[in-house]
Homo-oligomer: A and B are copies of this chain.
Amino acid sequence: MANIKDVARVAGVSIATVSRVINGNHKVGDACRARVQKVIKELGYRPNSNAQALVSKTKSTIGLVTPKLAMTFFGTLAAGVEKTAREQHYKLLMANSMYETQSELDAINSLRDHNCQAIVLHSEYSDEKTLIKLAEEIPGLVLVNRYIPAIAHRCVWLDNIAGAACATQMLLDRQHRDFAVITSIYQNRDPGARLQGIRQTLAAANITLPEHAIEESTANIEGGMQAVAALLARNVRFTALLAYNDLMAVGAIHALFAAGLRIPEDVSVVGFDDLIVARACRPQLTTMHYPVEAMASYAAELAIALSSQGASQKTSLKDSPNDNLQLNQHRSGAELRTHLFLSTLIERDSVASR
């Protein structure tokens, strides 16, 4: 592979000139520039990005750490980051954490070794302290789908409470009074917040959600089936079922159908996430749309902006083209603002009025 010296030699100029032509910043004579560009094309020269990164101590690479790419949700997350990366001519470096705290840290460190300064992290199990420390060390670190007050301006997250409340309210409006909930065994964060949204909305309508109408299981299709089986086994009566996510909702639909119940005639089911499975099941699932892809794109933009600020360049985060974006009331310092997205109700065929 030709290098900068070859180009310089063939074009009869110095390597500095070639460098200038490549980077376009400085002024180069027209004739000279044309000649260099011609040679670059002829030789098929492409700058060595390792050398560039080494000397300029900055690299247009964005890193993404995610639990498990094979899951639709995370694949979509990755797609969002990739979109921004492509638009801003960044490279995307990926690492799966496989849901393990240690490999999550390993992944982050390996990204840092490659001095990638913008990092989008979906962390589920690392504790806040670790993440805060990390955020201090890495100016371009942004968390998706998690909120940590101390680093609020580095968090791009979803209002799970509002989302769950929205779904619940819709069901109330449809005259449902008997609710059941199937939720994930990880009662921290998301599941907890969604449950809270449900509870407070019901409470406002003077309905208490009995403990026995809540069943925990794994957050997948099988979990949904098991949870509903358990609910049915102990004779819980409900006309409305709120599932932690679409996967569980789909499992629930299978289990309800197996038990001879009709959906939505006998029981209405609502999911969360709006994955493709929501459109695959029958009846198609009414669910809360989780704008993962938009959030991920935004998170990537934020990470890039922060990382270049951190490198004391004055790049400012351009306004996101995304309409779902909610800003805090404090618009002053970037430090005082977090990045909260809202989910929206997608009505399909799994909900009926009582």
On A, residues with C-beta under 8 Å from B are 46-51, 53-54, 59, 68-72, 74-76, 78-80, 82-83, 86, 91-96, 98, 103, 109-110, 112-115, 221, 250, 253-254, 257, 276-277, 279-282, 284, 293
Contact = CB atoms under 8 A, between A and B. Distances in A.
Nearest to A97: B86
Contact of A93 (B69, B93, B279): B93
B54 A82 contact: no
Where chain A touches its partner, the secondary structure class is helix
Given A50-B50, A71-B75, A79-B69, A94 B96 contact: no
Which 7 pairs from chain A and chain B are nearest by CB?
Answer: A75-B75, A70-B79, A277-B280, A69-B79, A280-B280, A50-B53, A50-B54
Contacts of A72: 72, 75, 276
B280 A221 contact: yes
A49 B116 CA distance: 11
Contacts of A68: 79
A231 to B, nearest CB: 19
Contacts of A115: 48-50
B91 A91 contact: no
A282 B279 contact: no
Contact of A281 (B69, B74, B281): B281
A227 to B, nearest CB: 16
A93 B92 contact: yes
A322 to B, nearest CB: 16
Given A70-B75, A74-B75, A79-B68, A48 B94 contact: no
Contacts of A94: 78, 82, 92-94
B47 A113 contact: yes
A138 to B, nearest CB: 11
